[in-house]
A and B are shown apart, each in its own frame.
Chain A
Amino acid sequence: MIVDDPMRGTDGSRRAFLRAMGAATAAALASGEPVPVSAAEPVRQPEPTADTMILLWLAGGMASPETFDPKRYTPYEIGVPAEKILCTFPSIPTALDGVRISQGLEHTASVLDRGVLIRSHVVADLGNILHSRHQYHWHTGYVPPQTVAAPHLGAWVAKVRGPRNPAIPAFINIGQRLEGHGEVEELKAFTTAGFFGSEYGPFNIPYPLDAIAAVRPPRGVNRDRFSRRERAYRRLMDEGPLAGMASDYHRQSVVRAMENAYRLLNSPEREAFDLSKEPKAIFDRYNTGRFGQGCLLARRLTEAGARFIEVTTEYVPFLSWDTHENGHATYTEMKKQIDQPIAQLILDLEERGLLDRTMVVVASEFSRDMMIEGVPGSTAKDQSRAKADVMQKPIHYGLHRHFTGSGSVLIFGGGFRRGLVHGETAPERPLVVTRDPVSIPDLHATLLHAMGIGPRTAFDVEKRPFYVTKDGTGQPIKTLLARA
């Protein structure tokens, strides 16, 4: 059962929604969760053009010159000065006339006519470059530290729009481990519902192939035994001394939360989590590793009724897109990981008629450059591990500095225009934005607008309003939307 868009649905779906989650929400609200600021005067929210948002997060700083915004190509040769190099791959044509992207992204090039390519995304210069701080900024809209725990974008969507299907968690986070490597504490700081409380927090699935484990009985407990437990739990609830007593909201919250958990664990939709149910031919098209598998899982969960899904290439310091050395070779591999899964996700959603109401966003916390750390004139410390004025070894060949002056974002479906390139960057270094810059608040405002959430949507926390876009300043870029 997909209760689509319960907040705005027919009476029937609204009732279903209330039955499923509303009571939990009401109790949560009553127990001190933030309340909307303009309760007396409801904010007029935009009509949503998307019901699900999928964020494909290329963590670690994806270099746009090596991916979606190629520049003059300089092949590797010993003795080539570093300052001559803008990018290390030749470009290829795409489905859009005159628009070229980087070699290695042929599948994505073939679906570029389905979406919007923003080449003018600018992010903040925060002094010392630190991936986790920039990722915090992108995911919450606020630069850390904040005096209150800022919610993740997914938590905002879960809070304002609610689940699409009560049996599927509203905010699902795929691919990122939160234990066992550097900077996990910093990642946890934004992988959270913050002041909204854990009801709106991420349902974390670090390993897509294991996703089914998140919705089936724990290892060592078979389904029969699990059901026996549940039956005994229900009986003891009826037989205990509290059964006949007036109910209190604490007890109701335990009962309801346990019921919600069981609904997920016993619903037919839990099959969506099981990648082994996917035909092998299709699975193989996605199977480039955890990211590709995550894209497939995102498609299955979208079909089952998820509201917000993030799939990440996983941030681990100095791995994946975070190339401090040997960038060219690493990017060849990274592009293999993302290219076919992204394209296949778009094609599969389109084929199933879901792309119109599903927004797929490809983004990263910043870009990279061969020479410049931060933006021109920044005081940020140079963090390249393969410093060389001229190319001497292949590990010197790649974009090894973090660049915040421009970056690329792809948006498909969900009410966005098709076949549009927005913004432009300089043809020579510094590769800064020369036309139509897009800030994080405005980008968020645009994505949220499509999700039916206005940029000044706010909740009262500690007696002051906290807005979904930074201080309420984001403005949707209407030219990116199919119907402005």
Chain B
Amino acid sequence: MDRGLRRRMHQTATDRRFAILACATIGWLMVEGLARAGEGPRPVDFAHTIVPIIRAHCAGCHTDGKYKGSFSLDTREAMLRSESVVLGKSAQSELIERVLSKDPDFRMPQKGPGLTASEIDQLRAWIDEGASWEPGFSFKVSRYFAPLKLRRPTLPAARDGRDHPIDRLVDTYLNAHKIPLPRPIDDAGFARRLFLDVIGLLPPPSELEAFVKDESTDKRIRLIRRVLNDRRAYADHWLTFWNDLLRNDYKGTGYIDGGRKQISAWLYQSLIDNKPYDRFVRELISPKPESEGFIKGIKWRGRVNASQVREIQFSQNVSQVFFGINMKCASCHDSFIDRWKLNDAYGLAAVIAESPLEIARCDKLTGRIAQPKFLWPELGSIDPAWSQERRLEKLAGMVTHPDNGWFARTIVNRVWHRLMGRGIVHPVDVMANEPWSPDLLDYLANHLVDHDYDLKALIGHIAESSAYQSSPAISSEADQPDSPAFRGPEIKRMTAEQFVDALWLLTKIAPAKADSPGRPPCEASAPDHRYLRASLMKSDELMRSLGRPNREQVVTTRGDVLTTLEALDLSNGQLFNDTLAKGAANLIRSRPGTTADEWIDSIYIQALGRQPASGERATARELLGSPATAEGLADLLWVLTALPEFQLIR
């Protein structure tokens, strides 16, 4: 490419103004129209004007692998290379010449009615303005295509005696990519990770010690069962994950004026009961009053963007949460990033619509009424004449249909991500991406289906694998595109709720009453971990700081690094420090006569799951004082909770 052309392209990419993929709100279009009066015509909008023309008339023969006459329109660069477009000069561009031609051998497209006069005018104006292109946009789509049905992969032979089905699949992957097997994790490390991953709590010291001393060979399997059977602690922990995913909370936008409804009691009981996942989802989509909050979404006061009305929220959220499909683009126009279309987004929205839903394209009404339709029509159809209730019931059946492999794959991938720190498909909300092991993904999805959609069984199955029971992979940087997809469990950061739970456990103080409706009160005689949990409380300053989100959008993953503002709250945040001071004073009062060394041992084993080394003990003694003071104890707790070793799940 000559330098002049490159410079011209750069100019057009940076100087030209053209509208974009992200459609947002109108409402003030009128006002903005006024604001623009006298500025001359608006530039041609590539995403919304040119892409549909190319899609309709050219893409079939000249994009995405098919390049008749060696002509590619995949990218701007490809188009320019063909020399069919002369920037700024539509009259000299072969592209325009061809769409205008009456000669059947020369005219494009060769078949069909050809472009309308207004489409040709738009193409001309676009070329005259320099044919700006959305940066990075290509008509070429990814080759990977996830099949709808689950496959039943044949398990490869075990290597080195590692015969757990997950290990047979993982080890085959590691071997094929010449990645060394991760080293096994020690007992204490395993127990800490397992407790935090499955029930969100640090292991109680007495249990930890007994576990480490235990010499029986099945002790890890027994520990896995033991935590999974702790129904209440399990529910308390996974509540956070589901509240994020289903955007349920105890306060927040919309609740105050009835524009939003909690599902807290239903959700909590479902987790206590380990409700089969297919039934769980059917009850969300085809709900009873206590579970209808999810599909009802948030009703915002005042006018909202057409792509944020409740019906479209439903479409976006069902797609994202249960299928890892991003319908946010397609609810405004046919998606440029995957295969979903405006009709798919509206088809799903029409299932819940209580009156005819007119399709809006980029906030402009099209005059077409959406017909109820599921993403995969092969799973069944929905009669528009049916009542909303019946339509939702049918939809719930198709979402959870055993032939719908996307349903099981999406949730097993989310669970794998929670336990291993990285998805088999990554990121977890782009299930169209290629899994690093399609066999492993489908094996796990089948496991879920075969075990009556039992999520605890899935968690237990993963936790029993050597892959899970390995030392963490050390990454100096996260998510390098070319780094291997699996080298062992990734290090995870404690969630805000895990951190606060640990703090309450260490200081023996926790709120007495839950904000969440639905959880039975604590038993007075309950062991340590029966304290109320952070997941049941409204968010506060500290939790917000540590990454508990406003649940106005679906959240499937949280930030995994500590930021400066968060660290500030852990350094001089008043709420955090007051909790430590109060907790330390309580502890000192409750256990008079405890020696400094006893305090140090007990805090270390509880916080870090180990004894202090001698150097550490000396530092801790200095801080604690002898005899230990409440101030010293607060300082020791502060220092230990600030350590990466505490804040990270390794």
A contact set with B: CB distance below 8 Å: 24, 26-28, 30-32, 37-38, 40-41, 43-44, 122-130, 133, 142-149, 169, 179, 185-186, 188-189, 192, 197-199, 201, 203, 213-221, 225-226, 228-229, 232-233, 235-237, 239-242, 245-255, 257-258, 260-262, 264-265, 375, 404, 433, 437-442, 454, 456, 458, 460, 462-467, 470-473, 475
Closest to A238 in B: B615
Which of the candidate stretches B23-31, B263-271, B434-442 sits at the interface with the other chain?
B23-31
Supposing A218-B572, A232-B623, A439-B32 touch, asked if A258 and B642 sit within 8 A by C-beta, the answer is yes
A239 with B24: CB separation less than 8 A: no
Contact partner of A31 (CB less than 8 A), chosen from B24, B479, B564, is: B479
Supposing A185-B252, A199-B563, A248-B475 touch, asked if A464 and B619 sit within 8 A by C-beta, the answer is no
Q: Which residues of A sit under 8 angstroms from B576, Cβ to Cβ?
A: 218
- Cβ of B526 within 8 Å of any chain A Cβ, yes or no, is no
Q: How far apart sit A123 and B27, CA to CA, in the bound complex (Å)? A: 10
Contacts A/B (CB < 8 Å), 18 sampled: A41-B10, A41-B13, A124-B31, A127-B27, A143-B304, A146-B308, A147-B316, A188-B550, A237-B643, A248-B472, A249-B478, A250-B492, A261-B567, A460-B136, A465-B22, A472-B17, A473-B17, A475-B39
A467 with B20: CB separation less than 8 A: yes
- Cβ of B35 within 8 Å of any chain A Cβ, yes or no, is yes
Q: Which residues of A sit under 8 angstroms from B571, Cβ to Cβ?
A: 258, 261-262, 265
Q: How far apart sit A434 and B568, CA to CA, in the bound complex (Å)? A: 49
B577 with A125: CB separation less than 8 A: no
Shortest CB–CB separation between residue A328 and chain B, in angstroms?
28
| Mask: chain B, 452-482; 1 = CB below 8 Å from A; 0 = not | 0000000000000000000010111111100
Supposing A149-B552, A236-B643, A258-B642 touch, asked if A466 and B22 sit within 8 A by C-beta, the answer is yes
- Cβ of B644 within 8 Å of any chain A Cβ, yes or no, is yes
Contact partner of A217 (CB less than 8 A), chosen from B37, B472, B572, B631, is: B572
B603-628 residues at the A interface, CB under 8 angstroms: 610, 613, 615-616, 619-620, 622-623
Q: Which residues of B sit under 8 angstroms from A440, Cβ to Cβ?
A: 28
- Cβ of B522 within 8 Å of any chain A Cβ, yes or no, is no
A254 with B648: CB separation less than 8 A: yes
A239 with B570: CB separation less than 8 A: no
Q: How far apart sit A239 and B22, CA to CA, in the bound complex (Å)? A: 50
Shortest CB–CB separation between residue B380 and chain A, in angstroms?
28
A189 with B550: CB separation less than 8 A: yes
A198 with B14: CB separation less than 8 A: no
Shortest CB–CB separation between residue A129 and chain B, in angstroms?
7
Supposing A149-B553, A464-B337, A465-B22 touch, asked if A143 and B564 sit within 8 A by C-beta, the answer is no
Q: How far apart sit A242 and B647, CA to CA, in the bound complex (Å)? A: 13
Q: Which residues of A sit under 8 angstroms from B383, Cβ to Cβ?
A: none
Shortest CB–CB separation between residue B546 and chain A, in angstroms?
9
B19 with A229: CB separation less than 8 A: no
A27 with B478: CB separation less than 8 A: yes
Q: Which residues of B sit under 8 angstroms from A213, Cβ to Cβ?
A: 574
Supposing A198-B565, A261-B571, A438-B35 touch, asked if A38 and B642 sit within 8 A by C-beta, the answer is no
Contact partner of A257 (CB less than 8 A), chosen from B17, B27, B567, is: B567
- Cβ of B52 within 8 Å of any chain A Cβ, yes or no, is no
A465 with B567: CB separation less than 8 A: no
A218 with B35: CB separation less than 8 A: no
A240 with B643: CB separation less than 8 A: yes
| Mask: chain B, 226-243; 1 = CB below 8 Å from A; 0 = not | 000000000000000000
Which of the candidate stretches B172-180, B283-291, B554-562 sits at the interface with the other chain?
B554-562
- Cβ of B307 within 8 Å of any chain A Cβ, yes or no, is yes
B562 with A249: CB separation less than 8 A: no
Contact partner of A233 (CB less than 8 A), chosen from B256, B568, B643, is: B643
B35 with A465: CB separation less than 8 A: no
Closest to B476 in A: A249
Shortest CB–CB separation between residue A215 and chain B, in angstroms?
8
B13 with A38: CB separation less than 8 A: yes
Shortest CB–CB separation between residue B605 and chain A, in angstroms?
14
B567 with A258: CB separation less than 8 A: yes
A471 with B474: CB separation less than 8 A: no
Tier of interface size on chain B: 35 or more
Q: How far apart sit A197 and B560, CA to CA, in the bound complex (Å)? A: 10
B contact set with A: CB distance below 8 Å: 10, 13-14, 17-25, 27-28, 30-32, 34-37, 39, 134-136, 251-253, 256, 298, 300-305, 307-308, 316, 326, 328-329, 336-337, 427, 429-430, 472, 474-480, 491-493, 541, 544-545, 547, 549-550, 552-553, 557, 559-568, 570-574, 576-578, 581, 610, 613, 615-616, 619-620, 622-623, 631, 635-636, 638-640, 642-645, 647-648
Contact partner of B303 (CB less than 8 A), chosen from A40, A123, A128, A260, is: A128
Shortest CB–CB separation between residue B492 and chain A, in angstroms?
8
Supposing A30-B477, A43-B14 touch, asked if A38 and B561 sit within 8 A by C-beta, the answer is no
Q: How far apart sit A123 and B47, CA to CA, in the bound complex (Å)? A: 26
Q: Which 10 A-B pairs have the closest CB atoms?
A: A124-B28, A127-B303, A253-B561, A143-B25, A257-B567, A128-B302, A218-B577, A439-B35, A261-B567, A239-B615
Q: How far apart sit A225 and B630, CA to CA, in the bound complex (Å)? A: 13
Q: Which residues of B sit under 8 angstroms from A257, Cβ to Cβ?
A: 561-564, 566-567
Q: Which residues of B sit under 8 angstroms from A441, Cβ to Cβ?
A: 32
Q: How far apart sit A205 and B20, CA to CA, in the bound complex (Å)? A: 36
Supposing A44-B14, A198-B559 touch, asked if A32 and B427 sit within 8 A by C-beta, the answer is yes
Closest to A405 in B: B31
Q: Which residues of A sit under 8 angstroms from B477, Cβ to Cβ?
A: 26-27, 30, 249
5 more A-B residue pairs beyond the given contacts A147-B553, A225-B631, A236-B640, with a C-beta to C-beta distance below 8 A = A24-B563, A144-B300, A201-B563, A220-B581, A439-B35
Shortest CB–CB separation between residue B185 and chain A, in angstroms?
13
Q: How far apart sit A169 and B573, CA to CA, in the bound complex (Å)? A: 16
Q: Which residues of B sit under 8 angstroms from A260, Cβ to Cβ?
A: 564, 567
Shortest CB–CB separation between residue A32 and chain B, in angstroms?
6
A38 with B135: CB separation less than 8 A: yes
A122 with B17: CB separation less than 8 A: no
Q: How far apart sit A216 and B21, CA to CA, in the bound complex (Å)? A: 45
B553 with A198: CB separation less than 8 A: no
Supposing A218-B577, A465-B135, A473-B17 touch, asked if A235 and B619 sit within 8 A by C-beta, the answer is yes
B577 with A221: CB separation less than 8 A: yes
Shortest CB–CB separation between residue A211 and chain B, in angstroms?
13
Shortest CB–CB separation between residue B563 and chain A, in angstroms?
4
Shortest CB–CB separation between residue A250 and chain B, in angstroms?
5
Q: Which residues of A sit under 8 angstroms from B27, Cβ to Cβ?
A: 124-127, 143
Shortest CB–CB separation between residue B641 and chain A, in angstroms?
10
Supposing A185-B550, A236-B643 touch, asked if A219 and B574 sit within 8 A by C-beta, the answer is yes
Closest to A171 in B: B565
A253 with B562: CB separation less than 8 A: yes
Q: Which residues of B sit under 8 angstroms from A264, Cβ to Cβ?
A: 564, 568
Closest to B635 in A: A229
Q: How far apart sit A123 and B31, CA to CA, in the bound complex (Å)? A: 7
Most interface-central of B134, B565, B631 (chain A CB within 10 A)? B565
Closest to B135 in A: A38
Shortest CB–CB separation between residue A53 and chain B, in angstroms?
19
Q: Which residues of B sit under 8 angstroms from A229, Cβ to Cβ?
A: 623, 635, 638-639
B19 with A189: CB separation less than 8 A: no
B31 with A37: CB separation less than 8 A: no
Q: Which residues of B sit under 8 angstroms from A442, Cβ to Cβ?
A: 35
Q: Which residues of A sit under 8 angstroms from B10, Cβ to Cβ?
A: 41, 44
Q: Which residues of A sit under 8 angstroms from B479, Cβ to Cβ?
A: 30-32
Q: How far apart sit A460 and B37, CA to CA, in the bound complex (Å)? A: 31
B476 with A247: CB separation less than 8 A: yes
Shortest CB–CB separation between residue A268 and chain B, in angstroms?
17
Q: How far apart sit A148 and B305, CA to CA, in the bound complex (Å)? A: 13
Contact partner of A41 (CB less than 8 A), chosen from B18, B135, B493, B561, is: B135
Q: How far apart sit A251 and B650, CA to CA, in the bound complex (Å)? A: 10
Q: How far apart sit A40 and B13, CA to CA, in the bound complex (Å)? A: 12
Supposing A124-B31, A143-B27, A242-B644 touch, asked if A197 and B17 sit within 8 A by C-beta, the answer is no
A218 with B574: CB separation less than 8 A: yes
Q: Which residues of B sit under 8 angstroms from A41, Cβ to Cβ?
A: 10, 13-14, 135
A233 with B491: CB separation less than 8 A: no
